[in-house]
Structure 1
Amino acid sequence: MGTRLTVEQQDFVAALRDFATRECGTREQRDQWAKEGGTAHNPEIYRKLAELGWLGVCFPEAYGGAGGGLTEACLFLEETSYGMVPSGGFVTTAIAAKAYERFGTHDQKERVLRATVEGAVASIAMSEPEAGSDVGALQCAAERHPEGGWLVNGHKTWISNAHLAETILLVARTGPDKHHGLTMFDVPADTPGIEIRPIETMGGREVNDVYFTDVRLPDSAVVGEVDQGWGQLMAGLDCERLFLASSMLGVARRAFNDAVSYIKVREQFGRPVGTFQALRHRVADLATEIECVRLLIRDVAADYDTDPQQRLSREAAMAKLKATETAKRAALEGMQMMGGYGYATEYDMERHLRSAVVSTVYGGTSEIQRDIIGRSYGL
Structure 2
Amino acid sequence: MSLDYHDFSDEQRAFASAVTDFCKRETGTREQRGEHPHNPAVYERMAGLGWLGVTDAGLVDTCVFLEHTGYGMAPIGGFATSAIVAGAVRRSGTARQQATVCGGLAAGRTFAIAMSEPEAGSDVAALACRADPGPDGGWVINGQKTWCSNAHFADAILLVARTAGRPGDHDGLTMLLVPAGTPGLRVAGIDTMGGREVNDLWFTDCRVPADAVVGVPGQGWRQLMAGLNLERLILAALMLGTARRAFDDALGYARERRQFGRAIGTFQVQRHRIADLATEIDCCGLLVYRVAALADAAPGRVLARESSMAKLKTTEVAKQVALAGMQMMGGYGYATEYDMERHVRATLVSTIYGGTSEIQRDIIGRSYGL
Q: Report how many residues are paired.
A: 364
Q: 1:124 aligns with which of 92, 113, 129?
A: 113
Deviation at 1:285, TM superposition (A): 0.2
Matched, 1:301 2:298: no
**1:63 counterpart residue number:** none
Q: 2:22 aligns with which of 19, 24, 37?
A: 19
| Unmatched segments (≥5 aa) in structure 2 | none
Whole-angstrom CA distance in 1 between matches of 2:139 and 2:330:
56
Whole-angstrom CA distance in 2 between matches of 1:57 and 1:176:
37
Runs of 4 or more above 3 Å deviation: none
**1:80 counterpart residue number:** 69
3-state SS of the aligned residue for 1:147? coil
3-state SS of the aligned residue for 2:137? coil
Amino acid across the alignment from 1:227: G
Matched, 1:158 2:161: no
Whole-angstrom CA distance in 2 between matches of 1:6 and 1:147:
52
Whole-angstrom CA distance in 2 between matches of 1:377 and 1:31:
48
Whole-angstrom CA distance in 2 between matches of 1:173 and 1:25:
44
Whole-angstrom CA distance in 1 between matches of 2:335 and 2:101:
41
Instruction: Give CA deviations for 1:299-320 in whole Å, capped at 9, x if unaligned.
Output: 0001111111011110000000
3-state SS of the aligned residue for 2:292? helix
Whole-angstrom CA distance in 2 between matches of 1:31 and 1:325:
29
| Unmatched segments (≥5 aa) in structure 1 | 60-67
Sequence identity (%) = 61
Amino acid across the alignment from 1:33: R
Amino acid across the alignment from 1:70: L
Q: 2:236 aligns with which of 241, 245, 263?
A: 245
Q: 2:219 aligns with which of 220, 225, 228?
A: 228
3-state SS of the aligned residue for 2:132? strand
**2:10 counterpart residue number:** 7
Instruction: Give the CA RMSD over aligned residues.
Output: 0.9
Whole-angstrom CA distance in 1 between matches of 2:31 and 2:298:
41
Q: 2:282 aligns with which of 288, 291, 300?
A: 291
Whole-angstrom CA distance in 2 between matches of 1:73 and 1:233:
19
Deviation at 1:217, TM superposition (A): 1.2
Alignment of 1:50-61 (within 5 A): 50-59=47-56
Whole-angstrom CA distance in 1 between matches of 2:126 and 2:352:
18
Deviation at 1:189, TM superposition (A): 1.2
**1:47 counterpart residue number:** 44
3-state SS of the aligned residue for 1:227? coil
Alignment of 1:200-219 (within 5 A): 200-219=191-210
Amino acid across the alignment from 1:173: R
Deviation at 1:23, TM superposition (A): 0.8
Normalising by structure 1, we get a TM-score of 0.95
Amino acid across the alignment from 1:328: K
